[in-house]
Amino acid sequence: MVRVPGGTFRMGGDDPDGHPADGEGPVREVRLRPFLIDPACVTNAQFARFVKESGYVTQAERLGWSFVFRPFATGGVMDAGVPGAPWWAGVQGATWRSPEGPGSSIGDRQNHPVVHVSWHDAAAYAAWAGKRLPTEAEWEKAARGGLDGARYPWGDELAPKGRRRCNIWQGSFPTAPSRGTMPVKSFQPNGYGLYDVVGNVWEWTADWWGTAWEAYAEDPAGPAEGAAKVMRGGSYLCHDSYCNRYRVAARTSNTPDSSTGHTGFRCAAIP
């Protein structure tokens, strides 16, 4: 794991092309203790070892389906979809072992990030590994790699000198052909040694979603029905035409029992 130094950093963003409704701002100072975090997302090979040793069954496997980017689906497409996002389809048989549905496999994707894992699945893996999921503040401090206020983990330019630095959608979304996940560590690490903190897959964090920063405090009564967990980093489906959430300050959420073909996780721990 990578050690991230403690101290104060500026969290959040006020980008003109940001999403105010997502609660990206205001920019404010947050102080953290030192912590450890995985340099890359948990891979299919690592998750397979967890399943083999623990006998764990993911929520998608128990339910029998998960959400897949429709053009990638290999079969089993259901009526289930996402309002306003017709490119998503519920697919029977889509799991971490069969990311696109029946007939697909992870045979040649052992070093790709595991997907179709819910927040509960990610938390179970972290507990098995003697770790935990990072808080949202920890995730952002680590993702910034020591840079103050930069848009991306490497600076303010998306593609310095024309070189890609992350796996996001190429071409016109959602019609142009593009790839799905890429192996972890496909691009250069940031200043702290973290790989792929933007693009490739969204990453679960420990925090409950709130559009106001003060809403992060845990409610003694517990989360409301339908409450969601924060996800950070964007994915291979992000494109500036509709979802430029591959900026470090960007954020979104999903319910903790949800799983998709573009969501994974990395773990954190106390030194």
Handedness of CA 255, 41, 131, 2 (dihedral sign): negative
Cα–Cα distance between 58 and 118 in angstroms, integer? 8
User: Residue 136: what residue type?
Assistant: E
Whole-structure pTM value: 0.94
What is the pLDDT confidence band of residue 224, given thresholds at 50, 70 and 90? low
Q: Specify if 167 maps to a domain.
A: yes
Residue 240 above 90 pLDDT? no
Q: What is the pLDDT of residue 121?
A: 98
Domain count, the chain: 1
Q: What is the pLDDT of residue 216?
A: 45
CATH code for position 235: 3.90.1580.10
Q: Specify if 106 maps to a domain.
A: no
Closest by CA to 92, choosing from 110, 82, 80, is 80
Q: Which domain holds residue 253?
A: 1-56+111-271
pLDDT in tens, 44-103: 999 999 999 999 999 999 999 999 999 999 999 998 777 778 889 999 999 999 999 999
Three-state DSSP state, 203: strand
Q: Specify if 43 maps to a domain.
A: yes
- Across 9-20, b (16+ Cβ under 10 Å) vs e yields bebbbebeebbe
| Type and span of the H or E element at 125 | helix 119-128
Q: Specify if 82 maps to a domain.
A: no
Q: Specify if 101 maps to a domain.
A: no
Cα–Cα distance between 179 and 261 in angstroms, integer? 12
79 or 13: which leads in pLDDT:
13
Q: What is the pLDDT of residue 215?
A: 44
The C-alpha angle with vertex 126 and arms to 179 and 199, in degrees rounded to 5, equals: 25
Please, which residues bridge with residue 11 across strands?
Answer: 28
pLDDT in tens, 118-160: 999 999 999 999 999 999 999 999 999 999 999 999 999 999 9
Cα–Cα distance between 128 and 79 in angstroms, integer? 35
Residue 203 above 60 pLDDT? yes
The C-alpha angle with vertex 109 and arms to 171 and 129, in degrees rounded to 5, equals: 115
Give helix 119-128 / helix 44-54 axis angle, nearest 10°.
70
Q: Specify if 102 maps to a domain.
A: no
Dihedral class, residue 2 (left if φ above 0, else alpha if ψ from -120 to 50, else beta): beta
Q: Specify if 121 maps to a domain.
A: yes
Q: Specify if 237 maps to a domain.
A: yes
